[in-house]
Structures are given as structure tokens and as C-alpha cells.
Amino acid sequence: MAIADRLRALFGRQSQPKTVISVHRERQVAVCSILFFLLLGLPLWWSTTRVYRAELPTSDIVRFTPEQTLPVPVVFYIDAKTPLSQADATFIETSVQAQVDSQRPQFTASEWHIRYQAAVRVGVAPDTPGHYTLRLRMGSDITSVDVTPARSAIVSVPHAAQAKDVLVKAISAIVADEERSVRDLAPQASKAIGNTHAVLKYAPEYAVTLTLLNENPVDGAAVDWDIKQAVRMYLQPLVDELRPFTRLSVSSQVLHHAGPPPVTAHKADNGTYLTSDMLPHFVNSPSWNFASVDPTSPMLNFVLFVPALASQPMRILDSGIERSSAFLVSQWGGVSIANLPDTTRPGDKVVLSPEDMQKHMGYFISQIRSLVGIRSNAPLASSAQLQVRVRPATATGVSGWELDALMRRWLVRNRQTAIATLQSLVRLVDSLQNMVVMDDIKEKVDRSLAALYETENALRRLPDLNYVH
């Protein structure tokens, strides 16, 4: 009975007529409840369902355009028995820049603009990349430039009155030649002049694989090599010189190929020969099964090919003229043909010593230089007006001049690649509004931008680095 009474009392109260005040209070409660859920629920719903997009520095990225010229300084110090005045140095610098600018080919519509600039100082250059000493010598019989592997050269002139003109010619030729070389590596310039370059794109590491390939081990000799010692003696100095910029990880292997050769060499009275048109088909990567211990890095293959005894000696002929026993394969590596001694018989065991491989390792070093982009005529080639002698860096495989030119080339190309990648990312993010952009992507973009700014600042500071007027 007590429960029934309470229910009747409850329903009795609800059935009672509502007053104006109670209705107004209920409306206030309803409105407040709706506002509460809107103010609390909408932000909660937005934060839990929206796509997270870290804000990228778009305005800083799009400010880079091809028309904005990148200055690339090259600093020369003039060391003379009678020191030049600062006014003479300024005159040489101004004359060089005017000559370089007047000889610069016009940039194409989409080509990134670069401007190599010569800075001329008096004295001896510091031991720093990008700084070079030109030692002026008077009283020679001819006008010449003797370039040493270190960052220096001897400029000889018959008379002191000719010194400034010769220095202007030499410096302007060095600067202009390197600028043209860098521009020729750009994709737009390559297409315009129709050249096919063997140079690989820059990578922080290249996987270098040295392969001894014995063509016919069944009916031939069992060939092995002392490659570890040969690498230490001949290749390691070049690897050490390039290490500040890129790493060459070197591995080796021995392959025995019993199948048919990729091409059949022409027979001659004494051995066999390959012609130039056969060389592109000589390399048979799938059949030869070249392996890399580092599948993530660009691979450079260098093959020491030992022909079958019946094909030896094997030579390479170009228009009937014998050329070197090695050839370069664009974007891939190189091959060197190793003919065994005439006394070798089937079944003999032959071990190639480091001395036996000296010539072939020299070919491989030359091919590595070509593939990574080291200029063979850096810093200067002879001309009708100037006799030039460039001393090769036989100890290391690359001179200071060549290393600096390679560094500047990679700097220009990597800057262009970085800007193009950042701008492509910005366009992609803007076109896909639902694309997630996490904070780690923004951090990488910020670091890339900081590196671009630091590169520009470093180039501006370079001419006056360690220089005291």
C-alpha cells in the first residue's frame, strides 16, 4: 500500500497544471543543457576526428626560384716575390668577373641560375677547401701554368708587365670552365646539348663491388686474386679522400662463369678482339649474378674479366686501333680485361698479386672518378694563349683542385634537388587537404630549410674566411 500511495502521489504531481515559472525554468534547463553539450562536445568531436596537419613553412619554401642566382665563390691568393698591392688584386678580381660574366651562356627558362665568382687576395691561401695559391714567377721563357695536386699552381710569365693579364686569363678560365661543367650536368642542359653522361647522382654512400670473373674455369685456369692487399695499396687512398663527402663501401667476390659469353669476340691471328659497338652488350648482369652486400646504396660494379684461354689475348679495337683493355659502362661501373701469361695452361692455378693488378686498379680508379663526377681536366686545360701542365695526384687518385670542384658540383646539384623535393611536398600537402602531416615531417622540413640557409651563409662567408687585409 505504501508503494501504491507514493506512485499515485507522484503521478498526481505530474498531472498538476504547470505554472509559468516552472515552464520557464524547464526551458532554461533545456537550453543550458544544449549549450553545454555543444560547447563541450563540438571541440571534443573536432579534436578526435580531424586530420592532424603540422604547419609547414610554405612561404619560406616557395621563395626559392630558379631565377634567384646562387653565388659560388672561388678564392685565389696571389703569392709573388714582389707582393701585389690590394689595388692590383681588386683590378684582377673585377676583370676576371667581367670576363666570366661576358662568356656565360644564357640560362634556359627552367634552369637554376648559378654564378661562379672569383675573389682575389694577396698572400698565401689557408689550408682550406675553396682557397688556392697562385705563385707568380717572373723571367720564364714562356707563359705557362703548372698546377700541383695541392691547392696551388705556379704561374710563369716572361715579364712583370704581363703578370696581371696572365692572371686574369688563368683565373677566368678556371672559374668559367668549372661553371660550364656544373651547368652541363643539369638535366636541362644535358637535354639541350644531347649528351649522355655517365655521372651518377650524388649519394651519401656507394656500394663498390670488385668482381674477378673467370670466363671458363672448366677448361681454363683456376684464377684467384689478392684483392685485399690491392685495395689497400691502390684504392684506399681515394676512398679516404672522398670520405668527408661520400662513403665508398668496398666488397669483393670471385665468380666462375661456365655459360656462353654475352658476346662472341672476333678472332684474329693472335687471340681475339672486341669492337666498340660490342662493348654495351658485353656486360651480362643477370647471367653473371653480381650481388651487393648493401642493397640500399647505389651500386658500382668493377669487373676484372679473365677470358677463356682459347680467347686470349683479348683486346679492344676502335676503328682498327688497339685501345686500353678497359671500358666504362655508363651508370653501372667498368670492366677491365686481364690476359694471363702465355705460359698458362688448363688446370693451372694462378693468383693475381697486387703488382699484377696495378694496371687494372688504375683503370678502376679512373672509372670511379668518371662515375662520381670528378673532372679529368680540373682545374684548367691548355689553350692557344696558355700552356698548362696539370700534375696528377698519383698518391691519392684525386687532387685538391678536383676534390673542391666535385664538392661545389655536388653542393649545387643537391641544393636544387632539396628545393625541388620541398616544393613538391608543399604542393602535395596543399592539394590533399585530408593528408596527415606529422610533427616529424615538419621537423625534417625545418632541418632541410636550415641546411639550405646555412649553405647560402657559408658561401657568402667563404671569400673572407681566415683572410686578414
368: closest CA among 190, 282, 242, 274? 242
pLDDT digits (tens, 9 = 90+) for 204-251: 999 999 999 988 887 788 899 999 999 999 999 999 999 999 999 999
Which grid cell is 18? 504547470
- Over 60: is that where the pLDDT of 319 sits? yes
Computed over every residue of the chain, the mean pLDDT equals: 84
pLDDT digits (tens, 9 = 90+) for 444-461: 999 999 999 999 998 888
Q: Is 331 exposed, middle or buried (0-12, 13-18, 19+ CB in 10 A)?
A: middle
Task: Give the H/E segment covering residue 203.
Answer: none
> How many Å apart are CA 110 and CA 172, to the nearest integer?
26
pTM for the complete prediction? 0.83
Q: Which amino acid is residue 315, in one-letter code?
A: R
| Phi, psi for 49 (deg, rounded to 5) | -115, -15
CB atoms near residue 236 (< 10 Å) = 15
Compute the chain's Rg from CA coordinates: 35
pLDDT at position 134 is 95
What separation, in Å, do the N-terminal and C-terminal C-alpha atoms of the chain show? 112
> How many Å apart are CA 356 and CA 340, to the nearest integer?
10
pLDDT at position 466 is 55
Q: Is 377 helix (H, G, I), strand (E, B) or coil?
A: coil
DSSP state of 244: T
Q: Is 462 helix (H, G, I), strand (E, B) or coil?
A: helix
| Phi, psi for 69 (deg, rounded to 5) | -75, 130
DSSP state of 294: -
- Ranked by mean pLDDT, which of 125-129, 130-134, 436-440 comes out on top? 130-134
Cα 117 to its chain centre, rounded Å, is 22
CB 207 within 8 A of CB 298: yes
> How many Å apart are CA 456 and CA 71, to the nearest integer?
8
Task: Give the H/E segment covering residue 275.
Answer: strand 271-275
Which has more confidence, 70 or 5? 70
In this prediction, residue 255 has a pLDDT band, given cuts at 50, 70 and 90, of confident
DSSP state of 281: G
pLDDT digits (tens, 9 = 90+) for 21-42: 666 676 777 777 777 767 776 6
pLDDT digits (tens, 9 = 90+) for 150-171: 999 999 998 888 899 999 999 9
pLDDT digits (tens, 9 = 90+) for 354-413: 999 999 999 999 999 999 999 877 788 877 778 889 998 989 999 999 999 999 999 999
Triad 383, 385, 389: Cα angle to 5° = 50
pLDDT at position 421 is 94
